[in-house]
Amino acid sequence: MIKILVVEDEKPISNLIKMNLLDEGYGCTCAYDGQEAADIIESRTFDLVLLDIMLPKIDGYELIEYINTYEIPVIFLTAKSNVLDKVKGLKAGAQDYITKPFEIVELLARIETVLRRYDKTAKTMNIFNIHIDIAARTVAKSGQLINLTLKEFDLLVFFAKNKNRVLSRSQIYTRVWGEDFMGDSRTVDLHVQRVRKKLGLEKEIVAVYKVGYRLEVNV
């Protein structure tokens, strides 16, 4: 499921966005100030952030610098409609900039466009000589089907959607297992070893010292 973080301090707007995202089948988490959003991003993984600019504690311009280190696409959603603000937001790294008031159908269309740009909505994926069919939940290497368990498949897809990005063990666990990480890394390490071995990715899925793993793909 595509997971979206909504960072918006006006609860009626936040609730409206969340309701529509859930109706569209997205996962949605809400944060109501910049500090809360930073804390959530540190412990969980998202495919997209909808970010207001005028936020309590940490404003959107500051927060996007932090989000950029996680390479999560951002759409600014703000009442600041000045052209200079739009330019500043886009130069800061946002993939899109929407001003309030907005039509929810336009917001959903722009979300879909950004997710598609980042291959977040892809039904099939190819890495090296491996073909992943997300809808059919099958994996083939050089045309030969590979038998993966449920979690091994989800782990592979998570790596494939986050190529060349360092993923902490806590991020991997919370995203693939859907539970809070309690500090025991053995489950993650064991599954990573199995995926590596079954798909011959021992060199491509590299361990990052004291952090987690990264799938290295030349682009």
Tens of pLDDT, residues 51-100:
999 999 999 999 999 999 888 999 999 999 899 999 999 999 999 999 99
Give 141-165 as a DSSP string: ETTEEE---HHHHHHHHHHHHTTT-
40 confidence band (pLDDT: 50, 70, 90): very high
Check pLDDT > 90 for residue 185.
no
Question: 41-50, 167-176, 204-213: which has the highest mean pLDDT?
Answer: 204-213
* Distance separating alpha carbons of residues 48 and 175, to the nearest angstrom: 14
Claim: this prediction has a pTM higher than 0.75: no
* Distance separating alpha carbons of residues 120 and 194, to the nearest angstrom: 24
* Mean per-residue pLDDT, 99-118: 90
What are all long-range contacts of 31-35, with beta carbons under 8 Å and residues at least 24 apart?
31/5, 31/6, 31/7, 32/7, 32/8, 32/56, 33/9, 33/57, 33/58, 34/7, 34/58, 34/59, 34/60, 34/62, 34/63
* Mean per-residue pLDDT, 202-217: 94
| Beta-bridge partner residues of 208 | 212
212 confidence band (pLDDT: 50, 70, 90): very high
Interacting residues of 60 by C-beta distance below 8 A, sequence separation 6+: 7, 34, 51, 52, 53, 54, 76, 78, 89
CB atoms within 10 A of CB 85: 17
Q: For residues 157 and 135, is the Cβ–Cβ distance under 8 A? A: no
- The amino acid that residue 100 corresponds to is K
219 confidence band (pLDDT: 50, 70, 90): low
120 confidence band (pLDDT: 50, 70, 90): confident
- Mean pLDDT estimate for the chain: 91
Percent of the chain with pLDDT over 70: 100
User: Which residues in the chain are classed under CATH 1.10.10.10?
Assistant: 124-215
Question: 94-103, 153-162, 189-198: which has the highest mean pLDDT?
Answer: 189-198
What CATH number is given for 124-215 in this structure? 1.10.10.10
User: Which residues in the chain are classed under CATH 3.40.50.2300?
Assistant: 3-118
Percent of the chain with pLDDT over 90: 67
pLDDT digits (tens, 9 = 90+) for 12-34: 999 999 999 988 888 999 999 99
Q: Which of 76-80, 151-155, 164-168, 185-189 is predicted least confidently?
A: 164-168
What CATH number is given for 3-118 in this structure? 3.40.50.2300
The helix or strand, by DSSP H or E, that contains position 48, with its residue range, turns out to be strand 48-51
Torsion of CA 41, 46, 51, 55, to 10 degrees: -20
* Mean per-residue pLDDT, 160-167: 86
| Beta-bridge partner residues of 132 | 125, 139
- The amino acid that residue 177 corresponds to is W
